[in-house]
Structure 1
């Protein structure tokens, strides 16, 4: 493979350790090689940064497997040109010998310019993505819980949805809380719980609760 980068490194990132391989030397000669293992703690990552700097490394590659690469990327991105490799693409490049030499193989591919760079968004975009994904997850969880409450009410023959379009509105939550507390809902109490903006006729709601075995 024809060399294109004089000083580069490959990182094999695991949960607790990082194996780093640096290749350096003239492009027309076989490069020198050094391999060392570091901890994934903050102290270990800073030591890795210093070690790479001591060899005047310019480019560093790591695979995008799992989430372990993210803190490594955050520590190193200010001092090196980082490349995030698609693990599947790297494995499909002909020439790989053994899994034990993964990190050296990564460094060799980077030195030859044979690694496709995956897009890594800026920090603010990455934070926004995480928040958006988390919000979506919370919405899904909330919807699931609401559906579960609907089912419980139907199983108990409490057809609150027959008189309230949104049982999780202000009025619905007050009524649900009273039911969960085992309170006996009197008509006067019911009128206090139902918000004036509720579209349903208060008399219809009263009739429902008169017939409701739990509320009577």
Structure 2
């Protein structure tokens, strides 16, 4: 392998420790000076790793992108040399597919060897502001999914007690549906004339059907259980509002880009925030349009052999 770097370091990151292999020597030297050290993954150990690399004038570092253990390492090293350290987070599968690794060679040494030869392609790691926005948008998605699951639990509980609201109400958690559910949670049943009081707007077109759909009954345990479910739903909604406030605060850093994306038909502010959080705002990170499509998961695989196409999983 033709070497390109005189000084570089490969990191084998584990849950509790990091094995670092530093290679120093001329690019024409096939046997560079090798130094292997182990550091803790606690903050003190990460700071020691950063100080050691700076003292060795090592400006090129590589590690595998397995799990989440690389993230605190990346966050600490990102500020080394005033932000000028080159950090490559490489795909583990790619490294294993490169031929030439000796059986007794440590993973950290193999990573450093590949880095020295320029054979590693780094994964896309956006800037810190984008990563912080990504934390919030992905968390928002999980909370929205949790709200959907909680609604399904409530609907299932209502069905088990004989209330068939969803047969005639498109959204049982709208104004009319939620008011009827709150009444059922308090009293265990609802009379036809009470239904008429709660049903609003277009739902009144199905008033008679709705009256027939709420002929169920709940005992004390079932009412208390429904109250618990509704309380958790409301708390989750409140938590979602808090997350969205934080997202809106983060989006002030990307105001111009949000306005540009929001102007595209079919993309609202929420979608624009998710797009920026996933691909960032620096398109130079992607070599071609095909690269960004692949990163976004929009390039379908082509599993074909001998003229036969295999179904995608």
Higher relative contact order (CA 8 A, sep 6+): 1
Aligned to 1:199: 203
Change (3 A) 1:19 1:213: closer
Map 1:99-138; keep pairs closer than 5 Å. Answer: 101-138=106-143
Determine if the alignment matches structure 1 residue 179 to structure 2 residue 194: no
Please give the secondary structure, in 2, of the residue aligned with 1:43: helix
Determine if the alignment matches structure 1 residue 214 to structure 2 residue 202: no
CA contact (8 A) 2:177 2:199 kept: no
Runs (5+) with no aligned partner, structure 1: none
CA contact (8 A) 2:11 2:20 kept: yes
- Structure-2 separation of matches of 1:99 and 1:129: 40
Change (3 A) 1:180 1:33: same
- Give the TM-score, by structure 1 length: 0.85
Runs (5+) with no aligned partner, structure 2: 219-313
Please give the secondary structure, in 1, of the residue aligned with 2:18: strand
Map 1:1-216; keep pairs closer than 5 Å. Answer: 1-29=1-29, 30-79=31-80, 80-98=85-103, 101-186=106-191, 190=195, 194=198, 196-201=200-205, 204=208, 207-208=211-212, 212-214=215-217
CA contact (8 A) 1:83 1:118 kept: yes
Change (3 A) 1:2 1:162: closer
Cα shift readout 1:99-128 (whole Å, capped 9, x = no counterpart): 761101111111111112222112222233
Larger radius of gyration: 1
CA contact (8 A) 2:195 2:211 kept: no
Please state how far the C-alpha of 1:213 moved relative to its aligned partner: 4.2
Please state how far the C-alpha of 1:146 moved relative to its aligned partner: 2.3
Structure with greater helix share of residues: 2
- Structure-2 separation of matches of 1:114 and 1:202: 67
Paired positions, count? 213
Change (3 A) 1:22 1:214: same
CA contact (8 A) 2:161 2:217 kept: no
Please state how far the C-alpha of 1:43 moved relative to its aligned partner: 1.2
